[in-house]
């Protein structure tokens, strides 16, 4: 069985403890590979390497940094099939979606290779002929980036790329539950010619490795994607050194289907976003509010489209949905469904595990549509992270807005209407970092992404992410009088 090592100071090494973990396929529980399991000592070693490498990398010509990122992107594309197969086997998503994720990670490297060369400063108007004021941006230092299991390559890439482009050195910690594809992604970037110590990777738990990355005074920036509770713990620990933070946390995205919506388009979009990656995505459609005048028609279309989805092993080219990532995720989904049914909800389709021998060893669950939901149900208050589309009916737009905003989360929201006035009315009032109008795909490279309220702080993607890894400095210059 292949063993995946860590990358510290330019070398692939075992952990100091020599401990290892076996990564298993969620579709059948068969072993995929072993991974070297690090602890605080390994994290400290990586931070030290990044600290030593920082001055040289920060002074490197941005064009050279960009060239190395582009070369890394080329290597990722060359190895895309290998990385994608690892991703499917460790995480479960269908192979075609794994390929898409890997290619998106290469796009991140190319994007910030260009953006890093546009780190322009400013000349501030002066009130005196004998003074000038310059504002420049400089790299923060060592960045600790911590990524989750649901998109282990893509979400890591959109942290690593801006950090390196900005001139920061990096210690990356992928999810200990899905580290294989992320490790190969980091290895490809390193083999493009990144100097030793600039890009490091440590496997291990959040309790050990993650805590060291956050608590050490060496790291000056922490970027984390994961659940809100862990994000709050990171904020508390990082506050001891007043570190810069980017936190992309939980979501509970509402979709509002207005009376005048294109019902086919709305249903198709909600199916795609509610069930993609088995609902294990931070911007998944978690709540659907449907105008009572079109609720029956919408429910019929939603159920019909859901019934066409094919579920199975992600390596099967004919499937649309793979297994859930873990038994814990499946149980959470089942518990929330049971709570909803006990409080009056109705199952329109799904609601159980699929039958058959081929599903018996994996964490499979049928995509589920629920109706007659209300806010007393856990599913309408808590992030499910499972393949469920719960519906609730409304009679007026202001009611739908109130329900949509009645959440501690604010990552994304969606509105379906043919009336642009209505669309903008909702978009300007919804409490979310991203709003999709007649689409549930609100994330693009060139626009900022992040949450309101308890969905996090800071922004990823676009130029905003580059600046998250930089400090602003004002330089005031006194000039001599005359020439």
Q: List active site positions.
A: 248, 282
- Indicate the pairing of strand 20-24 with strand 11-13: unpaired
Question: Among candidates 307, 345, 46, which has minimal Cα distance to 201?
Answer: 46
Decide if 216 contacts 44 (C-beta within 8 A).
Answer: yes
Task: Categorise residue 383: left if φ over 0, alpha if ψ from -120 to 50, beta otherwise.
Answer: beta
Question: Among candidates 352, 357, 350, 385, which has minimal Cα distance to 371?
Answer: 350
| Residue given tokens 């329900």 in the structure block | 403
Whole-angstrom distance between the N-terminal and C-terminal Cα of the chain? 74
Q: Write out the two tokens for 55.
A: 């001055």
Our measurement of the distance from residue 77's CA atom to the centroid of its chain's CA atoms, rounded to an integer in Å, reads 20
Decide if 92 contacts 314 (C-beta within 8 A).
Answer: yes
Question: Among candidates 393, 385, 390, which has minimal Cα distance to 302?
Answer: 390
Cα–Cα distance, 163 to 263 (Å, whole number): 42
Half-sphere exposure of 397 (CA within 13 A, CB side): 17
Decide if 70 contacts 110 (C-beta within 8 A).
Answer: yes
- Indicate the pairing of strand 388-394 with strand 368-371: parallel
State the angle between helix axes of 95-115 and 154-166 in degrees (0 to 180), rounded to the nearest 10: 10
20: DSSP letter: E
Question: Among candidates 242, 258, 225, 285, which has minimal Cα distance to 412?
Answer: 285
Cα–Cα distance, 38 to 153 (Å, whole number): 19
321: DSSP letter: B
Half-sphere exposure of 131 (CA within 13 A, CB side): 9
Cα–Cα distance, 439 to 419 (Å, whole number): 14
| Residue given tokens 């970027």 in the structure block | 223
Report helix, strand or coil for 32: strand
């Amino acid at each position: 069985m292949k063993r995946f090592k860590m990358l510290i100071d330019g070398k692939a090494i075992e952990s100091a403890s020599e401990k290892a973990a076996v990564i298993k396929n969620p579709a059948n529980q068969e072993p995929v590979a072993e991974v070297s399991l690090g602890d605080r000592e390994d994290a400290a070693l990586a931070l030290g390497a990044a600290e030593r490498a920082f001055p040289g990398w920060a002074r490197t010509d941005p064009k050279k940094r960009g060239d190395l990122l582009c070369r890394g992107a080329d290597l990722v594309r060359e190895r895309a099939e290998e990385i994608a197969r690892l991703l499917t086997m460790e995480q479960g998503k269908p192979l075609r979606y794994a390929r898409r994720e890997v290619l998106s990670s290469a796009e991140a490297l190319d994007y910030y290779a260009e953006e890093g060369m546009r780190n322009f400063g400013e000349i501030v108007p002066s009130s005196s002929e004998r003074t000038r004021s310059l504002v420049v941006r400089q790299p923060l230092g060592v960045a600790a980036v911590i990524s989750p299991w649901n998109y282990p390559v893509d979400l890591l890439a959109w942290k690593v790329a801006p950090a390196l482009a900005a001139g920061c050195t990096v210690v990356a910690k992928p999810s200990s539950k899905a580290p294989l594809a992320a490790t190969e992604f980091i290895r490809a970037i390193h083999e493009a010619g990144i100097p030793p110590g600039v890009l490091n990777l440590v496997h291990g738990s959040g309790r050990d490795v993650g805590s060291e990355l956050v608590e050490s005074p060496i790291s000056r920036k922490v970027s984390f994607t994961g659940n809100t509770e862990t994000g709050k713990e990171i904020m508390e620990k990082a506050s001891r050194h007043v570190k810069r933070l980017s936190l992309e946390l939980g979501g509970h995205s509402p979709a509002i289907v207005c009376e005048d919506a294109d019902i086919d388009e709305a249903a198709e979009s909600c199916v795609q976003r509610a069930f993609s990656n088995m609902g294990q995505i931070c911007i998944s459609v978690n709540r659907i509010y449907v105008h009572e005048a079109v609720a029956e028609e919408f429910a019929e279309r939603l159920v019909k489209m859901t019934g066409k989805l094919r579920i199975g092993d992600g390596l099967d080219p004919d499937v649309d949905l793979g297994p859930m990532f873990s038994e814990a995720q499946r149980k959470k989904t089942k518990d929330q469904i049971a709570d909803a049914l006990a409080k009056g909800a109705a199952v329109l389709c799904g609601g159980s595990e699929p039958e058959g021998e081929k599903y018996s060893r994996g964490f499979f669950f049928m995509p589920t549509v629920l109706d007659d939901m209300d806010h007393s149900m856990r599913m309408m208050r808590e992030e499910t992270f499972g393949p469920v589309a719960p519906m609730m009916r409304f009679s007026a737009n202001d009611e739908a807005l109130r329900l949509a905003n009645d959440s501690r989360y604010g990552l994304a929201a969606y509105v379906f209407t043919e009336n642009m006035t209505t669309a903008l009315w909702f978009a300007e009032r919804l409490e979310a970092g991203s709003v999709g109008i007649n689409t549930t795909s609100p994330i693009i490279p060139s626009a900022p992404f992040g949450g309101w309220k308890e969905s996090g702080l800071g922004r990823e993607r676009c130029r905003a992410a580059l600046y998250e890894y930089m400090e602003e400095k004002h330089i005031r210059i006194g000039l001599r009088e005359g020439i």
